[in-house]
Structure formats: structure tokens, C-alpha cells
Amino acid sequence: MRMMANRSRVLRFSAAIAGAALAIAFSSVDARQGQAPSTQTPQPTAAAPAQGQRGAQSQQPAAGRNTAAAQGAVRNAEGAIIGFTALAEIPGTPWRIHDIARPHPRVMTPGATPGAAPSDAIVLFDGKDLSKWAHSKQGQLSDASWPVKDGYFETGAGSGSIVTREKFGDVQLHVEFATPSPGRGSSQDRGNSGVRFMDRYEVQVLDSYENVTYADGQAAAIYGEYPPLVNVARKPGERQTYDIVFEAPKFNGPTLLAPAYITVFWNGVLVQHRRPVMGSTSATTTQHAYTPHDPELPLTLQDHSHPVHYRNIWIRRLAGYDLPEAK
């Protein structure tokens, strides 16, 4: 008997859920069918529905229209709902669910081929010249002297690292590289270069194809801190990609508010998943630490005396959600 009673309660509860679900379903059907709220003054951004749809609306129950009206549905010229003004608030934001006032993401054009720069990227190397790069000595910039060849450039072994003339904070970076072929040397002395954000935080470039070195110094390691999750090295001479999200550290005067974070896709594979960087990776034998610095600084490609090839390098400044729609 007790089981029967419990079951009966369960059934009643199920019926209540079903009823609620039906009400929700009705409400969403109402939204999809593009009913015009007959008792509501149209929103400034709302357009009147087409004639044929008006005819259909008169056959809808009044309760459905009231629901749509209460939700503040806003429609386009075709009568389709494109937003609302009165749904629930999204916690931690100034927006409501499906808020008609929320800015739409800016329209941009992806690169024509995989890996190509999208329309809002700054192209740092397009196969032709190193005009976006320079050598830096005591703050003095001079033209980058690394040799540019058939659509790529080569680290000018022994001529010093190069830095971008432009400074960056939070960025998405795409880099293509190839380690020297045939491979020569071993451990760190084999196809070594590096992508160093803000001239402090290095993602290692190295020939890690059948080349053993300390794990936190192999290719795609955050140098001296985190080995990559997996080793997806291609052979010497083969083109490889890094797609990196770098979040600059945040300081308030001498105080570190937030560390740098680095995410790396290596040849399309996630190998660093938003790792909190421990500090400048320049210290090779002591613990890494932060020294406060500017919010934007140049990006460095390291000269480690090995002729590593680079091509197709582009960068995007990262910005927050809900930017104004116009650039």
C-alpha cells in the first residue's frame, strides 16, 4: 500500500512537471510562430509582422499572446523574435536572457584557408619582410636582420633575438615554424628558439621529434614550469603550428593581482590548458618570480643560434565581451 501511495504521489508530481513543461513548450512555440503581442505598443526596434502572420495570430489563445507580451518579445521585419526585454536576469551581468539590447559580436572574416589570418588580426609576417620586427638593445630599436627567404624567415643565428615594434597585452597568436632539417645536436642544442611574451614568458620552440631533453624545456613547454600535455612534434623541416592564448599578468603597483595565463594548441592539439605562469621564465636555475611591468610589451622570437624557420605569424588583441558593435 505504501508503495502504491508513493507511486501515486510520483505520478501526481510527474503530471505537474508535464504541465509545467507543456506551458514552457507552449510559450516557446508561441515565440517560434512569431506572434505579435496585440495589446502591447511595439518596441522601437520591433517591426510589424507580415500580413499572413497576423491572420494566424488571431487563432492563437489569448494566454499565449500575453506570455509573449510579458516577455517583451521584439521582432524583425519577418515577424521572427530577435530578442526580449523582460526575461530573467543573467547573474553577474547587466543583461537579461536573450536581451535585445546586448551588443552583437562584431562581424569579421575568417582566413581563406586554415591557419590564415582573420580580418581583425595584425599580420606580423606575411612571407615578405620583417618590417614589424626589430632588434632591441638597451631600448634602441634597429631593423631585424634575420634572413627572409622563400616565404619564410630564418632565425639569424647569433645575431640576437627580435621583438615586435608594436606592444601587446592579452593576445591570440598564430605561429608556424619548422626546426632545421636535417636535425643536428641533441637536447636543448637542437632546433632551439622560443616565443617569449612580453620578453619574459616563453613558450619553447625546439626540435622535440625523438629528441629527449628535460620535460619542462621541450617544445611547447612553458619554459621551466610546465611540460606540454602531450608531445605532438613533427619531424625536422616539417611545418608546425602554435596557436597560443596569452593573458598578461595584472599588477596594482608592486602587487601581483593576477598571473599570466598561457593556453597552447600545438599542431592543433591542446597542450597547455590555461596554465598560470609562475613568473619570468628567464631564470633557469632559480624559482620564477614576477617583477611588475607595463601592461603591454613587445613579443620576442628567440635567437638560440639555431636556424629555425618561421612563416605566417599573426596576432589578435583580445578584448572583453559586449563591446560596442561599431569599430
Which residues make up the interface to Mg ion (CB under 5 A)?
192, 194, 204, 302
Residue 147, all three cell numbers: 634572413
Check if the beta carbon of residue 267 is closer than 8 Å to that of residue 234.
yes
**Judging by DSSP bridges, how do beta strands 261-266 and 153-154 pair with one another?**
unpaired
| In the complex, least distance from residue 304 CB atom to Mg ion, rounded to whole angstroms | 5
| Of 30 and 207, CB closest to Mg ion | 207
156: CB partners within 8 A, 6+ apart: 144, 145, 146, 147, 303
| Of 204 and 240, CB closest to Mg ion | 204
Residue 98, all three cell numbers: 536573450
Check if the beta carbon of residue 39 is closer than 8 Å to that of residue 69.
yes
Cα–Cα dist 199/258, whole Å: 18
261 membership: H or E segment, kind and range: strand 261-266
Cα–Cα dist 327/286, whole Å: 45
| Of 192 and 280, CB closest to Mg ion | 192
| In the complex, least distance from residue 90 CB atom to Mg ion, rounded to whole angstroms | 43
| Of 79 and 194, CB closest to Mg ion | 194
| In the complex, least distance from residue 200 CB atom to Mg ion, rounded to whole angstroms | 13
| Of 36 and 308, CB closest to Mg ion | 308
| Of 35 and 192, CB closest to Mg ion | 192
CA angle centred on 82, ends 80 and 87, rounded to 5°? 120
Cα–Cα dist 237/248, whole Å: 32
| In the complex, least distance from residue 132 CB atom to Mg ion, rounded to whole angstroms | 21
Nearest residue to the partner Mg ion, using Cβ: 194
Residue 183, all three cell numbers: 636535425
Long-range contacts of 112-120 (CB under 8 A, 24+ apart): 115/174, 115/176, 115/241, 115/312, 116/312, 117/174, 117/312, 117/314, 118/316, 120/316
| In the complex, least distance from residue 196 CB atom to Mg ion, rounded to whole angstroms | 8
| In the complex, least distance from residue 193 CB atom to Mg ion, rounded to whole angstroms | 6
| In the complex, least distance from residue 298 CB atom to Mg ion, rounded to whole angstroms | 17
| In the complex, least distance from residue 233 CB atom to Mg ion, rounded to whole angstroms | 14
| Of 84 and 177, CB closest to Mg ion | 177
| Of 164 and 192, CB closest to Mg ion | 192
Cα–Cα dist 29/60, whole Å: 11
